[in-house]
Chains A and B, each alone.
Chain A
Amino acid sequence: MEWLWEPWGYEFFVNALVTGWIIGVLCPVVGTFLVVLRLSLLGDAIAHAVIPGVAIANSLGWDLTIGAFGAGMTSACVASWLERQGRVRADSAVALSFASFFSLGIILISLLKTRVDLEGLLFGDVLSVTYWDMGQAAIATILILSLLTLHYKEILFFTFDPVGAAAAGLPTEVLQYALMAAVTLAVVTAMKIAGTILVVALLVGPAVTASLWVQSLGRTLALASVFGVIGCTVGIHLSYYFDLPSGPAISLTLFVQFFLSWIATTRPGCA
């Protein structure tokens, strides 16, 4: 059994695992709202759109998360503005805006000759997680969970019945942008471990799996967090033992959870 405890002797592994536990709570909580609002692809799109911010921040010597957050929010606002003009469909506006940002990011990485590890950024790398990243993840998670607890009733109303919430006087546009900011923050926090391409699995996978077991928002949030933490723990261990990129290892673990849950919750004759 010594092999089981061996990675705990390495600082990078402990950093990655503890950060994994933190994002294992943060991403599924934020992702649950994307799932109930049928906006799962928005998480994927924002994740792709952070790349130009990473490239610019890297070339200017800033913290990458600042650039990534700025680019993610800018692209989300562009998509939201295009949608509100009413001349194109929402899904088309999102697809076009985020594909453009992703392309811009790849071109900037090449033009600015930045020293960004593109493969690590896209697919995750446990070796890149620092003590500072762990602290940032903890602060982001505490912030988002505190706001969620404080405004749970407003968020529940807005996500269940957006028109009814606006009619009652809730600032639904503010809530919409707050949700996008929370998604962007979760993506930026998780990108080093899960990778920008696969962070959507951590946003959406645990929430979808939890929704197979429970039918209330509060329980979905709690159970999705449990699945997220288990997924990150198993995925990061697989990444260490088999020298895999951490993003795909976590993604596949989350899919196995979903698949087993699907079988366990399928009643005979109701498949």
Chain B
Amino acid sequence: MLEVQNLTAVYRDRIALSDISITVRDGELVGILGPNGAGKSTLFKGILGLIPLQTGQVRYGQQSLKCQRHCVAYVPQRAAIDWTYPISVEQAVLTGRTVQRGWWRFLKRDDKAAAQAAMERLGVWQWRRRPVGELSGGQQQRVFLARAIAQDAQVFLLDEPLTGVDRDSEVLLWDVVSELRQAGKVLVVSGHEWGRSLDRYDQLVLLNRSLVAMGSPGVVLNPENLERTYGSAADDRSHCTSRRFYATNPCC
């Protein structure tokens, strides 16, 4: 179980996140929703211990998560990666084995086997020798999820994995996320997507620098919470979250 307790993070002398408490059980899929600048990426960095916390702690099981980083797979936003970097798909996936193998050891055959299995599951094996920068956005996200799977982690933090992703990749990514959930992994996914996909989450966290609401999608997605999260722009989204709207608007 991943427990985030009273997390307050300061970024460049300003409070970026205030008093966030979240609990994610093993085998649970939690979605983080909020407008741009709400602190979704900051929350991930706070959970990972990559930014200084003013207060709060993050635990996985009985220990601080900071001491168990090898158990965490983080998929960054696509914008955080320099796609001109000269690296092949296979090498990019193999970076997920770096920490598992250890500081003083070379990668071995079983690392390559783990990377191959992950690439085959995500359908990128045929592109293994291609520079990762030559792939489409959806294919690149599949490469990063393959890296996370090759890492054999217990906690998966995916920062906007569906941004700029084609339909086929989106379906595949959701299938793999479902498999990870069934395997008992902790899954936290941030995103902007709206509509039916929100029903996939066990819990949703509405975030706008502080925790607006947390609970099952049916409970959390109401006009009042959306107003508090998104302000006046919430009206359009509350239409998209109503089940009646799904039936008549397949694009939502």
Contact = CB atoms under 8 A, between A and B. Distances in A.
A116 interface: no
Interface of A: 36, 38, 86, 150-151, 153-154, 156-157, 159-161, 163-170, 211, 214-217, 219-220
Contacts of B151: 168
A169 B85 contact: no
A167 B95 contact: no
Contact of B72 (A154, A168, A219): A168
A217 B87 contact: yes
Nearest to B148: A164
Given A156-B98, A166-B50, 16 more contacts: A36-B82, A38-B82, A153-B95, A156-B91, A160-B81, A161-B80, A161-B95, A163-B45, A164-B95, A167-B69, A167-B74, A169-B72, A170-B98, A217-B91, A219-B86, A220-B86
A162 B201 CA distance: 29
B15 interface: no
A154 B103 contact: yes
Interface string B171-198: 0000000000000000000000000000
Contacts of A166: 48, 50
A209 to B, nearest CB: 13
Contacts of B75: 164
Given A164-B95, A169-B99, A215 B50 contact: no
Nearest to B71: A169
A187 B85 CA distance: 24
B12 interface: yes
A38 B73 CA distance: 26
B83 to A, nearest CB: 10
A160 B70 contact: no
Contact size range, B: 35 or more
Contacts of A167: 48, 50, 69, 72, 74, 157
Contacts of B87: 156, 160, 216-217
Contacts of B131: 215-216
B86 A211 contact: yes
Nearest to A168: B99
Interface string B78-108: 0011100111100110111111010110110
B95 A86 contact: no
A153 B86 contact: no
B217 interface: no
Chain A CB count within 10 A is highest, among B82, B88, B107, B157, for B82
B131 to A, nearest CB: 5
Contacts of A211: 86
A168 B70 contact: yes
